[in-house]
Structure 1
Amino acid sequence: MSNNFFRHARALALTAGFIGMLGLAACNKEQPAAPQAAAPAAAKVYLVGVESAYAPFSAENEQKQVVGFDIDVMKALAKRIGIEVKFVPTPFEGFFNFLAQGDRDLLISAITITDERKKSVSFSEPYFVATQTIAVPAADTKVSKMNDLKPLTVGTQSATSGDELVQQVLGKNNAKIKRFESTPLALKELEGGGVDAVVADEPVVKNYIANNPNSKLRTVTDDTFPKEDYGIAVRKDDPELLAKINKGLADMKADGSFAAISAQYFGK
């Protein structure tokens, strides 16, 4: 064979190798990535407005965690209906505004169901029945009923049903009504003589006296005080959530789990 033959063969081999490399490069060219499935959306966390100074229903412990009867009920209820909740301490005076503005999804803190409040929020079925009481110094013998408060200076928590009750007796704009951010603050003022009496939810007043034995306070019951139903509040545009809450409460009452929580705080 001539040298020309070998040169021609070599040229063919080089050409074939070059074409092969082009083909390989084409094969190895990065292909568009297959579209990835969208990550599942994070589960909604429902923000629950609670008052942080309303023991035994809701109050902060030493670790700044909100604890109490309402908290335990809401935790059990959330688990029952399959939602995640986060408790957010909220001033009671602005409770319903926070809900209306969307800053809270639920409200629970011994909230009395009233016709006036029903105009702006939806309430669950009642989960607790309470009444108001009058707190006075233990040495006081003058107060035996609500009307005895007319000449006195009376403390209440702002925007509560106790506040409304005092207004009915003393008058809405009576300067002798002293309003406080929380019921414990009003009771502390009573201890110091800054007010003559306090009207507030009976379980809260009794809890305060039991845990402050040196307060030297007593309670006065007026048979004319109406019974008050507590409910969980949601926005009117969230009927699905309200239905879940009512179903969950009904199931908890039926299977005894609600009674078990109640017994921890109020006895059987």
Structure 2
Amino acid sequence: MPANRRTKWIAAGLLACLACLALAGCGKQEPDTATASANATPPPPAPPRVLVVGTDAAYTPFESQNEKGEIVGFDIDVVKAIAGKAGFKVKFVNTPWEGIFNALDQGDRDLLVSAITITAERRQTMDFSKPYFEARQLIAVRRDAQVARFEDLKAMKVGVQNGTTGDEVVGKLQGKSSGNIKRFESTPLALKELEAGGVQAVVADNGVVEHYLANNPGGGFKTVSDAAFPAEQYGIAVKKGNAELLARINKGFDDIKADGSYDKIYAAYFGSTLR
């Protein structure tokens, strides 16, 4: 074969090879980014936010501090159970009653649980969950006291916890500035004063009074109820307008009522005495 012809054949072969390589390169598929993304391990979910719960831990059995300084009680167990159902975590912070509502309004607390009675006045500045406990005012007196109704306390020295519903009703009976009203930081302190003879009666929520008497049988007390006292409802308070948190709390409460968790907590603290 002549040299010039051989050269042409070699050139033609090289061109054919180059064409094949080019076609192979064009046929190469890029990785499917959508499939790769779908198969990738999703990032772990963000940890749930810890909500700060304000409570005045001086109201046994609803909230108090044990010997280790831990905040315990009926209210605490109810909120923990609600949080478990609603998918958030909670941290309880002891907050004096005198500043508890301001702490919520300022955003220092996300919610409050502290045997807080739902009232029309309080609804103006905060929102409340569904009621989780019904209470009534109850009178505690010495066993030999001649007291049959609330009106009998009009001229007596009466102990109350400062700023509570008991304080309000006795203030209406005797006058808010009456010298016969003795105000204490907690109901147990008022009841101890009754035992010591410093006051003649104590007016406070039935759950607190009955729990104290059950655990102090030697105090020589009796209780007097009065139909004039209206039923009160306790609620969990959130900042005004926080509808999202309120909805989660209410849903969690419905869940613990439905599965029996609430009834177990109630029975652990009160049995059936208040129902």
TM range (shorter): 0.7 to 0.9
The CA distance in 2 between the partners of 1:42 and 1:253, in whole Å, is 27
**8 A contact 2:48–2:87 mirrored in 1:** no
**How do residues 149-188 of structure 1 correspond to structure 2 at under 5 angstroms?**
149-188=153-192
Task: Return structure 1 stretches of 4+ with deviation > 4 angstroms.
Answer: 38-42
Mean Cα deviation higher: 90-99 or 227-236: 90-99
- Write out per-residue CA displacement over residues 110-129 of structure 1, whole angstroms, 9 at most, x where no aligned residue: 11101111111100010111
Shift of the alpha carbon at 1:166?
0.6
Aligned residues: 230
Q: Which residue of 2 aligns with 1:216?
A: 220
TM-score, normalised by the number of residues in structure 1: 0.82
**Are positions 1:206 and 2:215 aligned together?**
no
**Are positions 1:267 and 2:271 aligned together?**
yes
Picking from 53, 56, 69, the partner of 1:51 is 56
Q: 5+ residue gaps in structure 1? A: 1-37
The CA distance in 2 between the partners of 1:264 and 1:42, in whole Å, is 31
Q: Which residue of 2 aligns with 1:148?
A: 152
The CA distance in 2 between the partners of 1:134 and 1:149, in whole Å, is 9
The CA distance in 1 between the partners of 2:91 and 2:164, in whole Å, is 24
Picking from 139, 147, 168, the partner of 1:134 is 139
**How do residues 116-127 of structure 1 correspond to structure 2 at under 5 angstroms?**
116-127=121-132
Shift of the alpha carbon at 1:135?
0.7
**8 A contact 1:70–1:108 mirrored in 2:** yes
Q: Which residue of 2 aligns with 1:14?
A: none
Picking from 215, 224, 237, the partner of 1:233 is 237
SS at match of 2:170: helix
Shift of the alpha carbon at 1:63?
1.0
RMSD (Å), alpha carbons? 1.6
Q: One-letter code of the match for 2:163? A: A
Mean Cα deviation higher: 42-51 or 211-220: 42-51
**8 A contact 1:91–1:181 mirrored in 2:** no
Q: Which residue of 2 aligns with 1:96?
A: 101
Shift of the alpha carbon at 1:187?
0.8
Shift of the alpha carbon at 1:209?
1.0
SS at match of 1:195: coil
The CA distance in 1 between the partners of 2:126 and 2:165, in whole Å, is 16
Q: Which residue of 1 aligns with 2:30?
A: none
The CA distance in 1 between the partners of 2:160 and 2:236, in whole Å, is 22
SS at match of 1:173: coil
**8 A contact 1:136–1:198 mirrored in 2:** yes
The CA distance in 2 between the partners of 1:93 and 1:205, in whole Å, is 21
Shift of the alpha carbon at 1:108?
0.6
Q: Which residue of 2 aligns with 1:24?
A: none
Shift of the alpha carbon at 1:69?
0.9
SS at match of 1:53: coil
TM-score, normalised by the number of residues in structure 2: 0.80
**8 A contact 1:56–1:207 mirrored in 2:** yes
